[in-house]
């Protein structure tokens, strides 16, 4: 059995159902959706047959209902910043571009929630929330492109995860269009806690658009943070930096963010300093880890923030840390994580992307094995011919050590051998993480690259039950096919 193709008759059916202003077939439109940020050969593109840009959940339902009838693949597409091929239309069909659904449906100030169409970007949502003095703290570095729906489906990391958590801590309610074109509400409306039924809204988090298209969401908000203090500290080891975070948390201080960078990543923040001043900053030779932290408050000139920051720096010093004196380095790190305010051709990241592509494995490693994992990362990357960019350890659960790690490399997409080496690197790193009693994915997901082997390597007997859940939402396997589950499991031929 093969997937259906979009014939002129089916194209007419789609246009009649949702209008010609929603359906696009010109190659110039389709080309824009043929790949995402994932490392792949420069000629490896997957053109969809049709691009649909609906503006309502009812239009989404009509499109999917027609696609399901004819077994045509439907791939949800938002900002396109995913790094695992999750939004690539591997089998053609329909790209369902969600950014046409970008309305704020309600801001409930008293209950501190926002209900939105999920095609709105996180940046635009927070710009609109300023007038209410509210803020949505699920902020990835790609927030200007990343949508609320993508943040749910991809479960991406947030700059402020160690204080406010990830999407699972913010999502109270969602509306999804299933693989049969049914509109279903999942969740608990605006309540933050529930013990009724299964928490199906949480099932959407990290689902990578394989259960259906998420069209609406209700998310919890916090007050705008008016006071913030940011610092960077170097340590002689990754373990020392981890211990500093541990001690800060257990001292009762509310860290807003905490990210550890290895020595390799440090070069990205010293580069712009050298470009500006013509010499290297005063970073000690023994520095093997760079910790960035912030504290924040909804009150102006908050004394608690200053006390917390000063006390945290004392804890860092007890753990052999030394504060980075050059403010420009701290500002460069904060630009990469939060303000996204880069100086063109002066900041090594992201201008380095003009030469090679950013690739990463997103392993979750138990806190006691970080040093071991770092050493294995250097070995495995070298073994597969990958140019090391560096390791960054995010912490993504509130008030606890909770590593979500980017083991990053540069991939030459003009060199097929180098790209294939990257795929081998991804698998061996994933196997390493699982052997260390961790997980293969924390923020990129299974996506395209891990799908052929993820059931065998990570999930074993549980994979069968995951597949049953997939079939309950998408019985014909048309929604984002080739992600999480090989299409052969639905009886399709490649």
**CATH label of the domain that carries residue 269:** 3.30.70.3450
Tell me the average pLDDT across 389-399.
95
Domain encompassing residue 307: 227-350
| Domain count across the chain | 4
Q: Answer for the pair 470, 176: CB distance below 8 angstroms, yes or no.
A: no
Tell me the average pLDDT across 132-148.
94
CA 480 remoteness from chain centre:
17
> Can you give the pLDDT at residue 349?
52
> Can you give the pLDDT at residue 352?
55
Same domain as 105, residue 94: no
Tell me the average pLDDT across 469-489.
98
Q: Which residue has the tokens 């079939």?
A: 471
Indicate whether 461 belongs to any domain.
Answer: no
Q: Answer for the pair 293, 255: CB distance below 8 angstroms, yes or no.
A: yes
**How many CB atoms are closer than 10 A to CB 105?**
12
Which residue, of 203, 223, 243, is where some domain finishes? 223
Tell me the average pLDDT across 17-34.
95
CATH number at residue 23: 3.30.43.10
pTM summary value: 0.94
Q: Nearest CA to 223 among 127, 132, 147, 104?
A: 132
Cα separation of 165 and 176, whole Å?
Answer: 23
CATH number at residue 156: 3.30.465.10
DSSP string, 172-184: EEEEEEETTS-EE
Tens digits of residue pLDDT in 286-336: 999 999 999 999 999 889 999 999 999 999 999 999 999 988 888 878 887
Q: Nearest CA to 431 among 463, 448, 452, 454?
A: 454
Indicate whether 69 belongs to any domain.
Answer: yes
CATH number at residue 397: 3.30.300
Same domain as 209, residue 187: yes
Banded pLDDT at 236 (limits 50, 70, 90): very high
Which residue, of 173, 196, 223, is where some domain finishes? 223
Indicate whether 150 belongs to any domain.
Answer: yes
Locate 393 and state its tokens. 């350890």
Same domain as 108, residue 216: yes
In 284-344, where do the E strands start and end?
Answer: 289-297, 322-323
> Can you give the pLDDT at residue 50?
98
Same domain as 216, residue 242: no
Banded pLDDT at 485 (limits 50, 70, 90): very high
Locate 230 and state its tokens. 């940011």
Tens digits of residue pLDDT in 249-294: 999 999 999 999 999 888 777 777 777 788 888 889 999 999 999 9
Tens digits of residue pLDDT in 166-204: 999 999 999 999 999 999 999 989 998 889 999 999 999
Same domain as 314, residue 235: yes
> Can you give the pLDDT at residue 420?
97
Q: Nearest CA to 428 among 450, 406, 405, 459?
A: 450
Q: Is the pLDDT of residue 228 over 70?
A: yes
> Can you give the pLDDT at residue 344?
53
Cα separation of 352 and 180, whole Å?
Answer: 43
Q: Is the pLDDT of residue 342 over 70?
A: no
Q: Is the pLDDT of residue 347 over 80?
A: no
CA distances from 361 to 84, 378, 405, 443, 446 (A): 9, 13, 8, 9, 10
């Amino acid at each position: 059995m093969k997937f259906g193709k979009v014939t002129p008759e089916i194209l007419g059916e789609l246009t009649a159902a949702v209008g010609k202003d929603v359906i696009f077939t010109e190659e110039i439109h389709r080309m824009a959706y043929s790949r995402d940020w994932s490392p792949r050969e420069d000629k490896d593109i997957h053109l969809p047959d049709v691009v649909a840009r609906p503006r309502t959940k009812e239009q989404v339902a009509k499109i999917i209902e027609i696609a399901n009838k004819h077994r045509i693949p439907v791939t949800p597409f938002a900002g396109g910043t995913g790094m695992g091929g999750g939004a690539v239309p591997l089998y053609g069909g329909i790209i369902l571009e969600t950014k046409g659904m970008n309305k704020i449906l309600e801001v409930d100030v008293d209950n501190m929630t926002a209900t939105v169409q999920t095609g709105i970007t996180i940046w635009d949502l927070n710009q609109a929330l300023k007038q209410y003095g509210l803020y949505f703290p699920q902020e990835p570095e790609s927030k200007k492109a990343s949508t609320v729906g993508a943040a749910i489906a991809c479960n991406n990391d947030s700059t402020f995860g160690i204080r406010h958590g990830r999407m699972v801590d913010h999502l109270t309610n969602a509306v999804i269009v299933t693989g049969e074109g049914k509109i279903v509400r999942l969740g608990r409306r605006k309540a933050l806690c529930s013990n009724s039924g299964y928490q199906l809204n949480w099932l959407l988090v990290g689902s990578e658009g394989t259960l259906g298209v998420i069209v609406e969401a209700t998310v919890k908000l916090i007050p705008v943070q008016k006071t913030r203090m940011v610092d960077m500290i170097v340590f002689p080891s990754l373990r020392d930096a981890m211990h500093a975070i541990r001690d800060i948390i257990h001292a009762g201080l509310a860290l807003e963010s905490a990210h550890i960078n290895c020595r390799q990543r440090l070069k990205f923040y010293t580069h712009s300093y050298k470009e500006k001043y013509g010499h290297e900053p005063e970073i000690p030779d023994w520095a093997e880890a760079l910790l960035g932290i912030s504290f924040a408050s909804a009150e102006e000139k908050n004394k608690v923030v200053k006390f917390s920051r000063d006390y945290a720096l004392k804890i860092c010093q007890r753990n052999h840390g030394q504060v980075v004196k050059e403010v420009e380095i701290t500002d460069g790190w904060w630009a990469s994580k939060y303000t996204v305010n880069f100086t063109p051709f002066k900041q090594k990241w992201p201008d380095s992307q003009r030469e090679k592509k950013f690739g990463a494995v997103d392993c979750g490693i138990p806190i006691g094995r970080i040093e071991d994992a770092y050493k294995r990362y250097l070995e495995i990357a070298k073994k597969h011919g990958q140019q090391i960019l560096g390791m960054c350890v995010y912490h993504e659960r509130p008030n606890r050590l909770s590593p979500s790690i980017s083991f990053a490399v540069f991939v030459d997409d003009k060199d097929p051998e180098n790209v294939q080496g990257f795929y081998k690197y991804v698998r061996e790193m994933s196997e390493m993480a699982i052997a260390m009693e961790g997980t293969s994915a924390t923020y990129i997901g299974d996506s395209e690259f891990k799908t052929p082997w993820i059931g065998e390597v990570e999930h074993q007997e549980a994979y069968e039950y995951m597949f049953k859940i997939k079939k309950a939402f998408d019985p014909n396997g048309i929604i984002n096919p080739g992600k999480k589950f090989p299409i052969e499991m639905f009886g399709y031929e490649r």
